[in-house]
Chains A and B, each alone.
Chain A
Amino acid sequence: MKSWLSFLLPNDEYKEKKILYFLSEGSIVLLIALFSIFISSRYVFNFQLDIEFALFASIFIFLGYVLLRYIISGMEYTDVATEHAYKKELKHIFSRTCSFGIIYMLLYFIFVGIPSKQNEWGELLGLLLSICLIWFIISFISLKISYKKNKELL
């Protein structure tokens, strides 16, 4: 089936079908959330959400739902079924996260400049470490679930 969405979908038909399900579920969850916000802000006294917050929350709900479903589905690392492959992929995730951190820092130094104050360093390192940690944890959970699922399918 041809759709403008096709370029976003993987070639594997199982993955494609599951991702389409996640996107559809995410859309329904988003619709319910938006409807709830609309009803609450219109009819519930003292419930006035800031427009920016409401928009950010809507994006977060949709992306968060789809990402969560994708992670716990265990279909990101489809070929990791042995202990050796698992350890190799874990090392790859670690090096990828470190590379991201280093590249981000270099780009920050080039485009924004080297921080001069201690609190600026704190802000930069705090933000960077948080992003890297969250990314690593998400990838680790996804890998762990994928490995468990793949082992059962051998």
Chain B
Amino acid sequence: MKNNVKIARIKLSMTQAQLAKKVGVTRQTIGLIEKGVYNPSLQLCIAIAKELHKTLDELFWEVEM
């Protein structure tokens, strides 16, 4: 699933490890989500959106930001 997690994270100058720690997953999981290899659960999507100060639409909807 394509998403804008990486762009939003970089805009906040946050590393994968920092985001991973905040949402309670491993750095590898964040990397897999950013690459679109792993589709996270809704619970994790919400946690990521909150940490990146974005809505689910902005991060995961298929329209470019």
**Residues of chain A having any CB pair with chain B under 8 Å:** 11-15, 75, 78-79, 81, 146, 149-150, 153-154
Contacts and interface: CB of A to CB of B under 8 A. Distances in A.
Given A153-B32, A154-B16, A14 B38 contact: yes
Nearest to B30: A153
Contacts of A146: 28
Interface of B: 16-17, 24-29, 31-32, 34-35, 38, 40-41, 44
A79 B41 contact: no
B33 to A, nearest CB: 8
A14 B31 CA distance: 11
25 contacts: A12-B24, A12-B26, A12-B29, A13-B29, A13-B40, A13-B44, A14-B29, A14-B38, A15-B26, A15-B29, A75-B28, A78-B26, A78-B27, A78-B28, A78-B29, A79-B17, A79-B26, A150-B27, A150-B31, A153-B31, A153-B32, A153-B34, A153-B35, A154-B16, A154-B31
Given A81-B27, A150-B28, 20 more contacts: A11-B25, A12-B25, A12-B26, A13-B25, A13-B29, A13-B40, A13-B41, A14-B28, A14-B29, A14-B32, A14-B38, A78-B27, A78-B28, A79-B17, A150-B27, A153-B28, A153-B31, A153-B32, A153-B34, A154-B16
Contacts of B41: 13
Contacts of A81: 27
Contacts of B38: 14
A154 B15 CA distance: 10
Contacts of B29: 12-15, 78
B35 A14 contact: no
A75 B37 CA distance: 14
A154 B31 CA distance: 6
